[in-house]
Amino acid sequence: MNILYEGKAKRLYATEHDDELRMSFKDDATAFNGVKHAQLAGKGHLNKEITLLLYRELADAGIETHFLRELNDTDLLVRKVTIIPLEVVVRKVVAGSLAKRTGLAQGQTLDEPLVEYYLKDDALGDPMLAPAHIRALNLAQPDEVTAVTQQALVIFTHLETFFAQAGLRLVDLKLEFGRADGKILLADEISPDTCRLWDTETGEIFDKDRFRQDLGEVIEHYQQILERISPHAKRV
Ligand code: TMP
Ligand code: ASP
């Protein structure tokens, strides 16, 4: 079938319907903008399962996304959207680049969720943008930035509560949005590749930092995330 886009961890294929795409999850793991690369058998399947479960939770909470339905072990059917080239990061706990950039202590809880915007451009290293840059580069209209920010906060808060039931602390989360029929919809995946999840009690890392930091047992931890959240899913 016709590949429309190949990313580091997913491929998008055309379908028989112009407004629908097949999003296929690969076993590839990358970090530091593709500098570090490995094949992790089963990652595509696990990230597809986790994304599917989370998209269903959001749908049940009345949050509209690009998700349409499950296709097979590694693929989801999604609405075709025009991706806004921003990585929208919501943070509740200090980690990763926020700790490096600000000197705030890793693990410190922020008083309120922080929303940041990065340019989706690997060649430039996904630089952080202020809203003024988003306007200057004409990436999105101010009302779109407002909509994306509001949706990102609602989605984060909802998922934070959901993961808490499974004994997991949602530290931060990267989201991407797209335009379709005049609406802004959540797109892309929601998986341990795109968020940070720590055990609520012990602080054990369950997300892609296991790969980034060579902590080992990456797939085992992704599998445990799925096992921990599955009993809390409203739909199976
Ligand atoms: P950061 O602390 O490295 O900026 O990452 C913040 C969050 O965004 C974290 O959950 C990992 C996620 N993320 C991506 O999904 N893609 C990326 O390219 C980067 C750098 C981070
Ligand atoms: N997503 C980026 C990469 O695959 C960076 C990261 O997640 O650390 O290289």
pLDDT digits 0-9 by tens, 39-73: 999 999 999 999 999 999 999 999 999 999 999 99
The values of phi and psi at residue 71, to 5°, are: -110, -50
Average pLDDT over residues 227-231: 98
Ligand 2 neighbour 8 (Cβ under 6 A)? yes
Tell me the Cα Rg of the chain: 17
Q: Judge whether 131 and 117 are in contact, CB under 8 Å.
A: yes
Residues 6 or more apart whose CB falls under 8 angstroms from that of 97 comprise none
Is it the case that residue 75 has pLDDT exceeding 80? yes
Q: Judge whether 4 and 14 are in contact, CB under 8 Å.
A: yes
Q: Residue 34: its pLDDT value, please?
A: 82
Which two structure tokens, joined as six digits, stand for 37? Answer: 């690369």
By most ligand atoms within 8 Å of CB, the mutation choice from 25, 28, 32 for ligand 2 is 32
Ligand 2 neighbour 34 (Cβ under 6 A)? yes
How far is it, in rounded angstroms, from Cα 236 to Cα 221?
A: 21
Residue whose CA lies nearest to ligand 1 atom number 16: 194
Residues 6 or more apart whose CB falls under 8 angstroms from that of 44 comprise 9, 24, 25, 26, 27, 74
The values of phi and psi at residue 160, to 5°, are: -60, -45
**What average pLDDT is seen over the chain?**
97
Ligand nearest to the CA of 207: 1
Distance 195 CA to ligand 1 centre (A): 7
Residue whose CA lies nearest to ligand 1 atom number 15: 194
**Is domain 3-79 classified as CATH 3.30.70.100?**
no
Ligand 2 neighbour 212 (Cβ under 6 A)? yes
- Tell me the domain boundaries of the chain: 3-79, 82-217
Q: Check the CA dihedral 113-118-120-126 and report its sign.
A: negative
Per-residue pLDDT reduced to its tens digit, 128-142: 999 999 999 999 999
Return the CATH number of the domain spanning residue range 82-217.
3.30.470.20
Q: Residue 112: its pLDDT value, please?
A: 97
Per-residue pLDDT reduced to its tens digit, 138-183: 999 999 999 999 999 999 999 999 999 999 999 999 999 999 999 9
Query: What DSSP designation does 59 have?
Result: H
Is it the case that residue 235 has pLDDT exceeding 90? no
Query: What DSSP designation does 65 have?
Result: B
End-to-end CA distance of the chain: 29
138-146 contacts: CB < 8 A, separation 24 or more?
139/84, 139/85, 139/86, 140/84, 140/86, 144/84, 144/179, 144/184, 145/117
Residue 236: pLDDT band (50, 70, 90) is low
Residue whose CA lies nearest to ligand 1 atom number 13: 194
Average pLDDT over residues 2-9: 95
Average pLDDT over residues 29-46: 94
Above pLDDT 90, what percent of the chain? 96
Above pLDDT 70, what percent of the chain? 99
Residue 35: pLDDT band (50, 70, 90) is confident
How far is it, in rounded angstroms, from Cα 181 to Cα 198?
A: 37
Residues 6 or more apart whose CB falls under 8 angstroms from that of 26 comprise 9, 10, 11, 43, 44, 74
